[in-house]
Structure 1
Amino acid sequence: MLRKLEIFKEVAFDSSISNAAKRLHMSQPAVSVAIKELEEQYQCLLFHRVGKRLVITDKGSWLFQRTVELFDRMDMMEQRLKEEPEFQKLRVGVSMSVGNTIFPSLVKEVVSRVPTLDIYAQIESSQNIEDKLIKNVVDIGILEGVSQDPRLISHVAFTDRFVLVVPIDYDHEEISLKQLSSLKFLAREKGSGTRELVDAVLSANGVRLHVQWESHSVEAIIQGIIHHLGVCILPYALVKNQIELNQVKTCRIRGLSIERVVTLAYHRDKDMQDIVSVFLKSLKSHENFT
């Protein structure tokens, strides 16, 4: 239909089949057939045949105006589509520790590198993010630790160090593992990367914690520490601001050091190499934050 209207527009422009045929690089009979088919389709005359001349009819004149408007709009649409950048939506799953610290500045840096990126984020436990990567609910995940699932590909972004966080007026600068086991402990929820790592390291060192709280909210845990309800082992990045504000402080654990890697993961069946490379560069630039 559009092709026939284009032919009609060229013929109506100067009421000449021969001129239209030249502009369209068509034969004159082919142009005549297209006009005849349009007239049959609309059941009206578009041109009067006066000898060898064509004279456009009232309906033909009306159709010519509408056809010109139609093709002008199509040209505008094509130009607009070429001018407007195509935004790529990216679904990112982010661990709690990264989501509560560097993620906003990370997004800003990534978007500055790829302006057409539209990032949708979900901040939750690493375990949930892994599940969503496998189910294609998110495209990439920033995880605490390395995923052991063979369906996922992981790249190390940076190393995260952990500290024992205690009330600001806590008496000791350093405690033993035995002393740690006697303290009331405010823990992250089971399934979080932080909880799994802390439990594994302390269990390997024969420490059994007295867990007073379990919470997915880091802020709730920090407030609990401020109000002398217990202590917690957390990534330094999560409590950096509160330490600088003298709301809480850190205490060394004699003979114990806890570190873990933060990784960028995606499903091995998805082609994510280019965008993963951008995220890794941006993540590595935040390594000193920890």
Structure 2
Amino acid sequence: MKFSLRQLEVLVAIGRESSVSRAAEALSMTQSATSMALAELERQFNTRLFDRQGKRLQLNTEGRELLPRAMELLDRAQELEALLEGKIGTGSLRIGATLTIGNYLATLLIGDYMQQNPGSRVELAVQNTSTIIDQVAHFKLDLGLIEGDSYHPDLQITPWVDDELVIFAAPDHPLASKSGVKLQDLINENWILRERGSGTRQVFDAAMRHQLTNLKVLLELEHTEAIKRAVESGLGIGCISRLALKDAFRRGSLVPLEIAGLDLKRQFNFVLHKQKFLTAGISSFLQLCREVTENVSRSDLIILRKPDGKPVEYR
């Protein structure tokens, strides 16, 4: 063959990072060696795989077509190497999860996965929906677990488990003791919400679309725990997943405000690139996720357990 696996590793790393220096750092190579490997690959086949924009390299048409095939070949080579060396495990896995899933489900699922597949390596990135979608689309992540929708033409969205947002308040808030809270009662309240670009905000804005211009958004925060603390302190009311509020409701530190006729249902989804090769690791993790949510009607009803068998409690 005219090319080496090392050259393909360089191609993939630069394709992901759009930078020779960052690719070199990811591969533990010098910048000059990384540049030379790419230049030699392009010279051998008399082609260009990247458009140069200053120090930034962007895959061109030929490069974008080659990238998923190169990644598949490298994934298969790693599986073959592990088999020849007699190693157990399913190799490396790069997972992205949106904040609610990442904070309340993903870390525990990864723990179970690594117990079932000793020797495996897992990296977890916790970001909002738009960031996870972008990283899966650019092959920076193998798999995404997201709370929102995506209409990216290169991505495949598969439903996982139902979820539901809930509007909530501190127990001493005036609305907490009111029976039959109506939509109109929410207009004059201060709101503590997730930032735009998050799946939670996407669902909230859709449900409140007829009232958005009237709402007083006091704070936009990136983390559900920060929103819970702000609402507990009396700054306003919030809206996040029931999953994130499960134990706060049980303790009584926060209370739900049930509003008739307001649809805040959504789904947690898997997102994969359509051209991504499904490694044994990806397939195994997807199977575990489905097993955990089998016969579960909503995310806050999932029971995850610690290694000692005790159910997990969220503070």
What TM-score bracket applies, with the shorter chain setting the length? 0.5 to 0.7
Q: 1:85 to 1:279 in 2, by over 3 A?
A: closer
Question: 3-state SS of the aligned residue for 1:102?
Answer: helix
The reply to whether residue 217 of structure 1 matches residue 220 of structure 2 is no
Scaled by the length of structure 2, the TM-score of the pair is 0.62
Which amino acid counterpart does residue 281 of structure 1 have in structure 2? Q
Please give the alpha-carbon distance, in whole angstroms, between the structure 2 residues aligned to 1:106 and 1:221. Answer: 24
1:260 maps to amino acid: R
Matched, 1:228 2:234: yes
Give 5+ residue unaligned stretches, structure 2: 1-80, 301-315
Selected match of 1:174 from 161, 180, 184: 180
Contact 1:164 1:232 in 2 (8 A): yes
Match of 1:156 among 159, 178, 185: 159
SS of residue paired to 1:100: helix
Q: Residue 134 of structure 2 aligns to a residue in which SS?
A: helix
Do 2:90 and 2:117's aligned partners in 1 also have CA atoms closer than 8 Å?
no
Alignment of 1:1-290 (within 5 A): 82-85=85-88, 88-169=91-172, 170-204=176-210, 208-272=214-278, 274-284=280-290, 285-286=292-293, 287=296, 288-290=298-300
Report the Cα distance in structure 2 between the residues aligned to 1:165 and 1:136, rounded to whole angstroms: 37
Aligned residue for 1:35?
A: none
Amino acid across the alignment from 2:110:
V
Check whether the contact 1:188–1:195 (CA below 8 A) recurs between aligned residues: yes
Once residues 154 and 123 of structure 2 are traced to their aligned partners in structure 1, the CA distance between those partners, rounded to angstroms, is: 23
1:191-245 CA-partner distances (Å, limit 9, x unpaired): 1110111011110567732101000021111011111101111110011121112
The structure with more strand, counted as a fraction of residues? 1
User: Which amino acid counterpart does residue 105 of structure 1 have in structure 2?
Assistant: L
- Partner Cα distance (2:228, 2:277) in 1: 39
Question: Which whole-Å deviations, capped at 9, do the CAs of 1:87-119 have from their partners, x for residues lacking one?
Answer: 511111100010111112211222344334311
Q: Separation in 2 of the partners of 1:159 and 1:194?
A: 13
Question: CA–CA distance in 2 between the matches of 1:157 and 1:280?
Answer: 9
Give distance in 2, aligned partners of 1:172 and 1:241: 22
- Output the aligned Cα RMSD: 2.3
Deviation of 1:171 (Å): 2.1
Tell me how far 1:249 sits from its aligned partner: 0.9
Matched residue pairs, number? 212
Cα shift at 1:124: 0.9
Percentage identity across paired residues of the two chains:
24
Deviations 1:14-61 (A, max 9, x none): xxxxxxxxxxxxxxxxxxxxxxxxxxxxxxxxxxxxxxxxxxxxxxxx
Assess, with a 3 A threshold, how the Cα gap between structure 1 residues 108 and 174 changes in structure 2: closer, same or farther: farther
Pick closer, same or farther for the CA change 1:171–1:90 going to 2, 3 Å.
same
What is the identity, as a one-letter code, of the residue corresponding to 1:197?
V
- Partners of 1:95 and 1:126 within 8 A in 2: yes
Alpha-carbon distance between aligned partners in 2 of 1:274 and 1:153, rounded to the nearest angstrom: 18
Unaligned runs of 5+ in 1: 1-77
Q: Distance in 2 between matches of 1:144 and 1:245?
A: 26
Letter in 2 for 1:194: T
Larger CA deviation: 204-213 vs 149-158? 204-213
**Is the contact made by 2:91 and 2:281 (CA closer than 8 Å) also made in structure 1?**
no
Distance 1:229 1:171 in 2: 17
Structure 2 CA distance for aligned equivalents of residues 86 and 273 of structure 1: 12
SS of residue paired to 1:264: strand
CA distance in 1, matches of 2:288, 2:239: 27
CA contact (8 A) 2:143 2:272 kept: yes
Name which of structure 1's ranges 120-129 and 142-151 shifts more when overlaid on structure 2. Answer: 142-151
